[in-house]
């Protein structure tokens, strides 16, 4: 099993769309890029999706290859395969981390999630997400409201609980 992204942080986005990636996230990107060698810049894929997605999801090369393999096993021409191809192949942006540990986010991606001065990074296991901080706060608050007060999320690990 490959390394996992963990944690959250907030970073400035400059006028050219450059934003520093948390150092621990960069180590996971390196470990998840089969072509990476010391001194190289790791590759990743940013999936931005359609209007229903209000964040950018960043995949290691290993993680996106796993998704691609699942799509490849689906029947050609099926609605599910077409939808996933559109999301993961069409509505995505392959890129690399630059020499200083930053991502350069194109204007199209920044505009899609209304990202300007600050970016919020949050780990999601084998991916990480980039959010406009205010949007993340609103979404997190709404999600917390959905979770019953008497539910301990640790109970989900044993499969004892459904919400």
Q: Quote the CA–CA distance of 124 and 143 in Å, as a whole number.
A: 15
Residue 34 lies in a domain: yes
Residue 3 lies in a domain: no
Residue 84 lies in a domain: yes
Residue 1 lies in a domain: no
Q: Quote the CA–CA distance of 108 and 126 in Å, as a whole number.
A: 24
Query: Over the stretch 65-86, which tens digit does the pLDDT of each residue have?
Result: 999 999 999 999 999 999 999 9
Residue 43 lies in a domain: yes
- The reported pLDDT for the residue numbered 24 is 95
- The reported pLDDT for the residue numbered 54 is 95
Task: Tell me how far apart the terminal alpha carbons of the chain are, to the nearest angstrom.
Answer: 28
For residues 10 and 133, the answer to whether their CB atoms sit within 8 Å is yes
Residue 19 lies in a domain: yes
Strands (E), the chain: 8-12, 18-20, 43-47, 56-60, 92-96, 102-104, 118-124, 127-131
Residue 163 lies in a domain: no
- The reported pLDDT for the residue numbered 142 is 85
- The reported pLDDT for the residue numbered 3 is 86
- The reported pLDDT for the residue numbered 75 is 96
- The reported pLDDT for the residue numbered 12 is 97
3-class SS letters over 80-113: HHHHHHHHHHHCEEEEECCCCCEEECCHHHHHHC
Name residues whose C-beta falls within 8 Å of residue 121's C-beta, 6 or more positions apart in sequence.
8, 9, 10, 11, 21, 22, 25, 128, 129, 130, 131
- The reported pLDDT for the residue numbered 52 is 87
Structural domain tally of the chain?
Answer: 1
Q: Quote the CA–CA distance of 89 and 82 in Å, as a whole number.
A: 10
Q: Which residues of the chain fall below pLDDT 50?
A: none
Query: What is the reported pTM?
Result: 0.89
Beta bridge partners of 58: 46, 128
- The reported pLDDT for the residue numbered 162 is 56
- 35: domain range? 8-158
For residue 36, the domain's CATH number is: 3.40.1550.20
| Tokens matching residue 38 | 């010391």
Rg of the chain over Cα atoms, rounded to whole angstroms, equals 17
């Amino acid at each position: 099993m490959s390394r996992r992204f963990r944690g959250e942080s907030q970073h400035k986005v400059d006028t050219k769309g450059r934003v520093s990636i948390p150092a621990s996230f960069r180590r996971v990107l390196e470990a998840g890029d089969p072509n990476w060698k010391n001194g190289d810049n790791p590759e990743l894929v940013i999936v931005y999706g359609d209007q229903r997605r209000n964040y950018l999801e960043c995949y290691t090369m290993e993680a996106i290859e796993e998704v691609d393999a699942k799509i490849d096993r689906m029947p050609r021409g099926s609605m599910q395969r077409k939808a996933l191809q559109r999301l993961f192949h069409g509505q995505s942006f392959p890129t690399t981390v630059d020499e200083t540990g930053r991502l350069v986010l194109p204007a199209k991606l920044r505009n899609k999630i209304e990202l300007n001065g600050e970016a919020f990074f949050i780990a999601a296991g084998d991916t990480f997400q980039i959010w406009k901080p205010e949007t993340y706060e609103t979404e997190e608050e709404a999600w917390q409201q959905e979770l019953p007060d008497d539910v301990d999320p640790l109970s989900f690990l044993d499969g004892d609980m459904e919400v």
